[in-house]
Amino acid sequence: MKIYYEKDVNIDVLKDKTIAVIGYGSQGSAQAQNMAESGLNVVVGLRKGGNSWQTALDDGMKVLTMEEAAEVADVIHILIPDEIQAQVYEKSIKPGLKEGNTLSFSHGYNIHYQYIIPPENVNVTMIAPKGPGSTVRGQYLDGFGVPGLVAVHQDYTGNAHQVALAMGQGSGLTRAGVLETTFKEETETDLFGEQAVLCGGVTELIKAGFQTLVEAGYQPEVAYFETCHEVKLIVDLIYKKGFAGMWHDVSNTAEFGGLTRRERVITEESRKEMKEILKEIQNGKFAKEWALENQAGNPQLKRMRAIEDDLEIEKQGKKLRKLCGLEK
């Protein structure tokens, strides 16, 4: 695997170039501010009068409409939600694209599933921080950075790879290291991680553990601490020290119990379902399902959000997070 650091970057490829960051949410604000403070010429493209317009101005950014930003930019870095990128691209970005421009992303979704099909005379690149926007910004301000991924889908000018790496340096990613990947690999692994482990898998595991204890007659407050609150403590240990370091730091009882029982929770059936989830990502079934959901106005997502908000673990969590000083 190839990893790039600051010594591998030719920042001059962005000299006298204008980078338009489309969107000013968590990633947009972090990457735009980092690149601007690294000396790159950055404008922010937003919907006129939208929620982020004044925020970006208050942060000292030059703010234009998305159409204006696309027109003046040499690099157009799209950081709006996946589900609206294709529509915004067709309406506000595509008309302003010029030969030799770079169309840049931090997630390969719309290129990989061909919801956006760029012209052949532009670069198509990805520079993707492996961390939330708040961490991207915080690490940069602390003099370091989060790791990132770089990929080139289309290299029209012959230097698309260096353009992407230069943007990564501007955001602080090459301080930590930027790994080579492809749009396909980044998209499919990212979706799988979210669905099977990080968001879907973890929350269902926590919920099942909480319900098991409460149904057995234990206090919900105690069940919350044991199955949800302490997850962060364990994940932090794994993050810092790996599995072996985590096992070393917990009690011998916890280590023996965890190692001897974990495969009774994550069974062969669970692993088969993970493979099915991955297959649905690879063959585009999930992407089509998500597209139809958005076209219908997100009825399923709204219903599931309401159910999630009403869970007993959520009610206990709000109460106990206040007790721990995590919420006001």
Does 28 appear as a known binding residue?
no
Q: Mean pLDDT throughout 217-239?
A: 95
323 pLDDT higher than 90: no
Please count the structural domains in the chain. 2
pLDDT in tens, 33-80: 999 999 999 999 999 888 899 999 999 999 999 999 999 999 999 999
Helices 268-282 and 183-192, axial angle in degrees (round to 10) = 140
**303 appears as a binding residue in the annotation:** no
Residue 215 labeled ligand binder = no
221 labeled part of a ligand binding site: no
In the predicted model, what is the mean pLDDT of residues 187-215?
A: 97
Which residue, of 128, 150, 181, is where some domain finishes? 181
Same domain, 22 and 161: yes
Residue 5, marked binder:
no
Q: pLDDT, tens digit, for every residue of 107-121?
A: 999 999 999 999 999
Q: Kind and range of the H or E element at 256?
A: helix 252-265
Using the CB atoms, write b or e for 241-255: b if 16+ within 10 Å.
eeeeebbeeeeeeee
- Mark which of 181, 212, 240 sits at the end of a domain: 181
Beta strand pairing call for 41-46 and 62-65: parallel
Q: Are residues 273 and 175 in the same domain?
A: no
The confidence score (pLDDT) of residue 325 equals 78
d(CA 22, CA 17): 16
Mean of the per-residue pLDDT values of the chain: 96
Q: CATH no. for residue 137?
A: 3.40.50.720
- Do 16 and 127 lie in one domain? The reply is yes
Same domain, 137 and 253: no
Same domain, 175 and 200: no
What is the percentage of the chain residues whose pLDDT exceeds 70? 100
Q: Is the pLDDT of residue 150 over 90?
A: yes
Residues belonging to the active site: 107
78-99: average pLDDT: 97
52 annotated ligand-binding residue: yes
Q: Is 47 annotated as a binding residue?
A: yes
Confidence category of residue 328, pLDDT binned at 50, 70, 90: confident
- Paired with 126 in beta bridges are 105, 151
Can you give the C-alpha Rg of the chain in angstroms?
22
Q: What is the pLDDT of residue 51?
A: 86
Q: Is residue 17 part of a domain?
A: yes
Same domain for 169 and 52? Answer: yes
154, 200: one domain = no
Nearest to 184 by CA among 277, 280, 282: 282
Is 328 among the domain residues? Answer: no
Residues near 267 by Cβ (< 8 Å), separated by ≥ 6? none
Judge if pTM exceeds 0.85.
Answer: yes
Q: Which residues are CB-contacts of 36 (< 8 A; sequence separation ≥ 6)? A: 42, 60, 61
pLDDT (0 to 100) of residue 322? 82
**Confidence at residue 50, expressed as pLDDT on a 0 to 100 scale:** 84
Q: Is residue 129 part of a domain?
A: yes
Residue-number span of the structural domain to which 311 is assigned = 191-323
* Position 186 in a domain: no
Q: Is 104 annotated as a binding residue?
A: no
Same domain, 122 and 248: no
The pLDDT confidence band at residue 125, using thresholds 50, 70 and 90, is very high
The band of 326, judged by pLDDT with boundaries at 50, 70 and 90, is: confident
Distance CA 193, CA 164 (A): 24
120 and 8 co-located in one domain = yes
The CA-CA-CA angle for residues 6, 189, 175, to 5°, reads: 15
Mean pLDDT, to the nearest integer, of 23-32?
97
Is 27 annotated in some ligand binding site?
A: yes
Mean pLDDT to the nearest integer, 204-211? 97
- CA dist 9 and 144 (Å) reads 16
